[in-house]
Amino acid sequence: MRIILCISALFLGFSSFCQQKELTLEAAILETRTTFAPKTIRALQWLPEREAYSFLEEDGETMIVQDMGDNPTPQRIVKSDVERVFEQKFNRFPAVQWQNDSEFLFRYLQTYYVYNRSTEKGERVFTIPEGAENLDYRNASKAAAYTMDGNVYVKKGAEPSVKVTKFSPEQEIRAGEAIARYEFGIRKGLFWGPEGKQLAFYQKDESKVADYPLLDITTTPGSLRTVKYPMTGQPSESAKVGVYNLDTEKLIYLNVEGPADQYLTNLGWGPDGKYIYLALVHRDQNHIWLNKYDATTGALVKTLFEETHDKYVEPEHAVWFLPTNKNEFLWFSERDGYNHIYRYTADGELLGQVTKGKWVVESILGMTASGDNIVVDGYDPSGLNKYAFSVSLKNGKAKKLSDQSGQHRYKLHSKGILLIDQYNSLKTPNVIDIINTRGKNVKNLIAALNPMKEYKIGSTELVEIQANDGTILQARLIKPSFFDPQNTYPVLVYVYGGPHAQMVKNDRMGGARMWMYEMAERGYLVFTLDNRGSAHRGFEFENAIHRNLGTLEIEDQLAGVDYLKSLNYVDPDRMAVHGWSYGGFMTTSLMLKKPDVFQVGVAGGPVTDWKWYEAMYGERYMDRPEENPKGYKESSLLDKTANLQGDLLLIHGTVDDVVLMQHNLALVKSFVDAGKQVDFFPYPMHPHNVRGKDRVHLMTKVLDYIEDKMGKGNTIGKK
């Protein structure tokens, strides 16, 4: 019998007798961030130099600047006063970026403005053309970089924009954009040097990448829009790094050697602007070279170190130079089984491991004022809670900066003394404190009340379940407000199950989505389990699924099913499963590989054969098809459709450019060939996710289908 531990219960005391209002599905979808969001402080941020913070008042018309100290008088900056300076109406108080303690930058339409709170004056800095994307502004040089039509532009003040690259569409080369389909932590393609006089950028040649057609039904006749999509084992993009000097107006490229389809990841500047650091990853994704390049000539200076792993390596952070010692940097690595930080000299000498232990470091927040410690955030061994830690650079001793369990988000002030600490948990809707780097609470800014206290809503339990090999798995069970253990209830299992995701956590709703509580009020239990392969539990926990996607994950999900069946109040003959993307793959895999477990399944945007997924992600976890034919065959669902016993609804956005619709259409054809009836619903002109008001339609479709096929839930006690 698997060990089962209940480790937390009751979602904010939602079972109060004074609850009156019914939670509707429409409200659960559209009002999550409004009606049902705990009170918070909008646009809260530190000023760059002095210990002061700014935020927007609830009406959104006034920004407050508040100094720390003994009740200093706050400064009020009213939107109408800013409008008067620029003779321009804004539809709301703009989102600002503090450039120094007096000036903030903001954008309205295509124009960027700087307002000085001390002089109450401002200036229009520059205007960018319609269609400009990926804008990155550098205050040090008062210059902006942006992209248009696949080219890089630089603009400085009132001067005309400089077109840095000059590629035509026919060349199929794009510059200044994120590459590698946002894998390896890549989120942008423009990188200013430390003084804003140099601009590095990614560039990708997609001429060998296949064009994939997406049907646009908004034109008459319908037309095709193509996207570049490198499938596993197919030709991929070729990347370069360009460097443009604003003073000399010279463009050079780094002299990166190696295969054309290797990955250029984690681009970072050295603190003096002389060098660029780049992590090269072989297409097999089992080898990293961290290289140092001359930013003026592009020449390779040195390979600082290499890392290998028999499964894969996955760098996701650039070098982080110590502000107190510009000859040393920190580097993230999973080499000891957990994501930790290592200290190197600028020439690649390993000085030691900084963070250690069976926990995962998420990011570096900065340094303490003394320069002796770094401040990081990361997950505890369970993966349920996220905290900040002050870690000694000398001996690696780590001090947790909060005793309050939950999911914390931090902003460290540049002086390294104070942090904004915002957190929530199953028992805490939203708290914002200012704390110091010794862990002392300095000031409470808000402690929100439960916004759901007037609604009928059920309870949440977090449980630990033991997998077949003894691995502890985290799970969540939502019960209706009228739950009675003497009755039996059907179950909806919500699944994701893939890497880089965590569904179960100690936050305000236990990681759940509001629609799950509406489903529970229909008389269902709603269950979710994070199987092996999920995030924040260590490298081995995540890479256990390598080359065999859909195998261990199913074993772990079935451990969750066994747990459910051990509960006297679960109806084992009425179980449904639903998931999207990787969760769609898992849903369909469970319905076809374990056809006697679930009576109903709803799979959104599912991968059905990994040979059709993109190379960067797919080859990391499955290798290339010719290298792993057995794994690809076993994970494919196209030859397993004859196994279907229950009811299955397949859903897909018709212009999905993440999981291409080919996956679902090929699966439907296989069902037809097998003589199996299946339901299919497309969402025209929606990409990988269905958002906005149409999401109400989607979730109505999903939940009503489950009820129609499996029957209403237990309604005893429900009015």
The CATH number of whichever domain residue 271 belongs to comes to: 2.140.10.30
Task: Write the CA distances from 384 to 213, 333, 390, 426, 655, integer angstroms.
Answer: 41, 21, 20, 11, 35
pLDDT in tens, 221-237: 999 999 999 999 999 99
Q: Residues 433-450: what's their mean pLDDT?
A: 97
> Are 158 and 227 found together in one domain?
no
Q: Residues 333-361: what's their mean pLDDT?
A: 97
HSE-CB of 108 using CA atoms within 13 angstroms: 17
> Are 158 and 173 found together in one domain?
no
* Residue whose C-alpha is closest to residue 240's, from 227, 225, 223, 257: 257
Q: Residues 49-61: what's their mean pLDDT?
A: 94
Tally of domains in the chain = 3
The predicted structure's pLDDT at residue 139: 87
**Residues facing residue 174 across a β-bridge:** 204
CATH code for the domain in which residue 19 is found: 3.40.50.1820
| List of residues 6+ apart from 69 with CB closer than 8 A | 51
What is the DSSP track for 165-219?
A: ----GGGTEEESS--GGG-TT---SEEE-TTSSEEEEEEEE-TTSPEEEEEETTS
> Are 118 and 218 found together in one domain?
no
Range of the domain at 147: 40-162
Confidence of residue 132 (pLDDT cuts 50, 70, 90): very high
The mean pLDDT value of the chain amounts to: 95
The predicted structure's pLDDT at residue 75: 96
HSE-CB of 619 using CA atoms within 13 angstroms: 26
Is residue 542, in this structure, part of any structural domain at all? yes
Task: Tell me: pLDDT of 10 over 90.
Answer: no
> Are 115 and 84 found together in one domain?
yes
pLDDT in tens, 252-279: 999 999 999 999 999 999 999 999 999 9
The predicted structure's pLDDT at residue 146: 97
Confidence of residue 716 (pLDDT cuts 50, 70, 90): low
Q: Read off the DSSP letter of residue 681.
A: E
Which of 318, 338, 366 is the last residue before a domain boundary?
318
Cβ-contact 660, 211 below 8 angstroms? no
Is residue 371, in this structure, part of any structural domain at all? no
Q: Is 581 exposed, middle or buried (0-12, 13-18, 19+ CB in 10 A)?
A: buried
Task: Tell me: pLDDT of 8 over 50.
Answer: no
Task: Tell me: pLDDT of 522 over 70.
Answer: yes
The predicted structure's pLDDT at residue 208: 98
Q: How far does Cα 402 stand from its chain's mean position?
A: 24
- Helices (H) and strands (E) counted in the chain, each on its own, are 10, 44
**Joined tokens for residue 658:** 């993440």
Is residue 511, in this structure, part of any structural domain at all? yes
> Are 126 and 183 found together in one domain?
no
| Residue 240 to residue 276: CA distance in whole angstroms | 13
> Are 137 and 274 found together in one domain?
no
Task: Write the CA distances from 271 to 180, 207, 275, 346, 678, integer angstroms.
Answer: 26, 35, 8, 10, 59
Is residue 256, in this structure, part of any structural domain at all? yes
Query: Which is higher by pLDDT, 1 or 192?
Result: 192
Is residue 579, in this structure, part of any structural domain at all? yes
Q: Which residue, chain included where needed, has tokens 């990155």?
A: 136
The predicted structure's pLDDT at residue 348: 97
> Are 185 and 53 found together in one domain?
no
Confidence of residue 1 (pLDDT cuts 50, 70, 90): very low
Confidence of residue 200 (pLDDT cuts 50, 70, 90): very high
Helix (H) or strand (E) holding 389: strand 386-392
In one letter, which amino acid is 553?
E
Which of 266, 287, 318 is the last residue before a domain boundary?
318
Q: Residues 544-563: what's their mean pLDDT?
A: 98
> Are 109 and 173 found together in one domain?
no
> Are 523 and 613 found together in one domain?
yes
Task: Tell me: pLDDT of 42 over 50.
Answer: yes
Residues in the chain: 719
> Are 172 and 157 found together in one domain?
no
Confidence of residue 713 (pLDDT cuts 50, 70, 90): confident
> Are 177 and 225 found together in one domain?
yes
Just list the catalytic residues: 581, 656, 688
Task: Tell me: pLDDT of 9 over 70.
Answer: no
Instruction: Tell me the residue ranges of DSSP E strands in 229-296.
Output: 238-245, 250-253, 263-269, 275-281, 287-294
Task: Tell me: pLDDT of 18 over 80.
Answer: no
The predicted structure's pLDDT at residue 216: 97
Is residue 90, in this structure, part of any structural domain at all? yes
> Are 611 and 575 found together in one domain?
yes
Cβ-contact 681, 702 below 8 angstroms? no
Is residue 239, in this structure, part of any structural domain at all? yes
Which of 268, 283, 318 is the last residue before a domain boundary?
318
Is residue 444, in this structure, part of any structural domain at all? no
The predicted structure's pLDDT at residue 590: 98
Task: Tell me: pLDDT of 719 over 50.
Answer: no
What is the DSSP track for 536-596?
A: SS-HHHHHTTTT-TTTHHHHHHHHHHHHHHTSTTEEEEEEEEEEETHHHHHHHHHHHHSTT
pLDDT in tens, 605-663: 999 999 999 999 999 999 999 999 999 999 999 999 999 999 999 999 999 999 999 99
